[in-house]
């Protein structure tokens, strides 16, 4: 049993079962034993690889899309260039480098990073030398100003609750005990107001996930963007409406049991983009496949330009990376992009209203 599992067993013995969201939150963010608290999970040696770690083109094109959105909104002379869950800082470093020739952009930009993990903050410090970002544990402490935000594989790491439809309402999944070990359980059925709109497209036995934390963050981001200007690009796997149990535990690039190694495996769920779009009190773009978004931003031209400087294995790897980011059988359609932007502004380039 992991150290965190032992703590959880004690906790459940004294306070009763955990909701799924409590369980996920502790697994990822426990201040002592949480998955993100204790390690850098990214890359070949870690548990999973993300788009910015696959190719520099990803962060470059996102940086340019945000820079164009900034110009379209009148190029305000001070703004926040922010990232939620920046991982190793690779995306932000690529975005900053790619935008250095956009007139006035760097002078106006203040870089802000929302990150809870000290291990990853250290990696970001190293990668972003010369950029001098300001770190935040949450969105509440961001200073005022137009907000140009990127969140890649951030929302999939936020805790979700899971409910099973019953004849008369919903029974929420919980984590309890059996013979001294963690075991999935179900709370007694009851109505759940947050899921009233799902009564129309579900039947008894279906599982629905919802994330109060994700919705609260989308609301806070959307309100700021509407009131102070800016744009957000939210990139993740998921769909317009989620149905079914999508909770996954991944360790060393393979799937493991969700309850087996709390604190030592990454836990993610597919993002319900509809819930984010509806929580945000500003305009949202159409949900767009990552491959389409990157093609519209000119990834093929950028890939060809970079290819001219490469040869041998580096060239092979570059071609494979381009394919991995855009091809429908790889990340191209599984990953989607949602843009948030103010009323009366243009959507960020690469996306449509």
The site for ligand SAH (CB under 6 A) is made up of 28-29, 36, 42, 50, 52-53, 85-87, 91, 114-117, 120, 152-154, 157-158
Measured from the CB atom, the residue of 4 and 91 that comes closer to ligand SAH is 91
- Which positions ≥6 away from 221 have C-beta within 8 Å? 139, 147, 149, 232, 280, 340
Instruction: State the angle between helix axes of 312-326 and 56-72 in degrees (0 to 180), rounded to the nearest 10.
Output: 50
For the bound state, the minimum distance from the C-beta of residue 21 to ligand SAH, rounded and expressed in Å, comes to 12
For the bound state, the minimum distance from the C-beta of residue 59 to ligand SAH, rounded and expressed in Å, comes to 9
For the bound state, the minimum distance from the C-beta of residue 43 to ligand SAH, rounded and expressed in Å, comes to 9
For the bound state, the minimum distance from the C-beta of residue 104 to ligand SAH, rounded and expressed in Å, comes to 27
Cα-Cα-Cα-Cα dihedral of 174, 114, 271, 98, to 10°?
A: -160
Measured from the CB atom, the residue of 153 and 264 that comes closer to ligand SAH is 153
Give the end-to-end CA distance of the chain in Å, rounded to a whole number: 49
Measured from the CB atom, the residue of 86 and 350 that comes closer to ligand SAH is 86
Residues comprising the chain, all counted: 353
Distance CA 128, CA 109 (A): 14
Measured from the CB atom, the residue of 50 and 56 that comes closer to ligand SAH is 50
Distance CA 303, CA 35 (A): 34
Measured from the CB atom, the residue of 105 and 335 that comes closer to ligand SAH is 335
Measured from the CB atom, the residue of 265 and 345 that comes closer to ligand SAH is 265
Distance CA 83, CA 149 (A): 5
Measured from the CB atom, the residue of 47 and 164 that comes closer to ligand SAH is 47
Q: Is 112 in contact with 137 (CB distance < 8 Å)?
A: no
For the bound state, the minimum distance from the C-beta of residue 306 to ligand SAH, rounded and expressed in Å, comes to 20
For the bound state, the minimum distance from the C-beta of residue 82 to ligand SAH, rounded and expressed in Å, comes to 12
For the bound state, the minimum distance from the C-beta of residue 83 to ligand SAH, rounded and expressed in Å, comes to 7
Q: Which residue minimizes CB distance to ligand SAH?
A: 85
Number of H helices, E strands in the chain: 13, 17
Q: Which of 330, 328, 232, 316 is nearest to 279 (CA)?
A: 232
Distance CA 250, CA 133 (A): 30
- Both structure tokens of 10: 């004690």
């Amino acid at each position: 049993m992991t150290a965190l599992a032992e703590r959880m067993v004690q906790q459940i013995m004294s306070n009763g079962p955990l909701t799924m969201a409590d369980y996920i939150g502790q697994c990822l963010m426990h201040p002592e034993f949480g998955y993100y608290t204790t390690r850098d999970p990214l890359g070949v040696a870690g548990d999973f690889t993300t788009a910015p770690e696959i190719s520099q083109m990803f962060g470059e094109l996102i940086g340019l899309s945000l820079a164009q959105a900034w110009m379209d909104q009148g190029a305000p002379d001070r703004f926040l260039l922010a990232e939620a869950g920046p991982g190793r800082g690779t995306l932000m470093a690529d975005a900053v480098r790619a935008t250095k020739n956009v007139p006035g952009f760097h002078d106006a930009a203040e870089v802000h990073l929302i990150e809870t993990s000290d291990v990853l903050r250290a990696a970001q410090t190293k990668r972003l030398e010369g950029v001098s970002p300001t770190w935040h544990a949450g969105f509440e402490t961001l200073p005022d100003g137009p907000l140009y935000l990127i969140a890649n594989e951030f929302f999939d790491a936020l805790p979700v609750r899971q409910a099973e439809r019953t004849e008369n309402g919903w029974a929420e999944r919980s984590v309890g005990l059996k013979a001294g070990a963690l075991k999935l359980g179900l709370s007694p059925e009851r109505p759940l107001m947050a899921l009233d709109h799902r009564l129309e497209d579900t039947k008894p036995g279906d599982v629905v996930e919802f994330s109060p934390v994700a919705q609260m963050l989308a609301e806070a981001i959307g309100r700021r963007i509407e009131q102070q200007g800016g744009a957000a690009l939210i990139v993740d796997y998921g769909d317009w409406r989620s149905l079914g149990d999508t909770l996954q535990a991944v360790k060393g690039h393979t799937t493991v049991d969700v309850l087996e190694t709390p604190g030592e495996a990454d836990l993610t769920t597919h993002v319900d983009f509809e819930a984010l779009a509806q929580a945000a009190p500003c305009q949202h773009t159409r949900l767009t496949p990552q491959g389409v978004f990157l093609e519209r931003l000119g990834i093929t031209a950028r890939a060809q330009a970079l290819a001219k400087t490469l040869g041998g294995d580096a060239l092979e790897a570059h071609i494979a990376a381009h394919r991995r980011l855009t091809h429908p059988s790889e990340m191209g359609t599984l990953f989607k992009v949602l843009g948030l932007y103010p009323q009366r502004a243009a959507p960020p380039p690469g996306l449509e209203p």
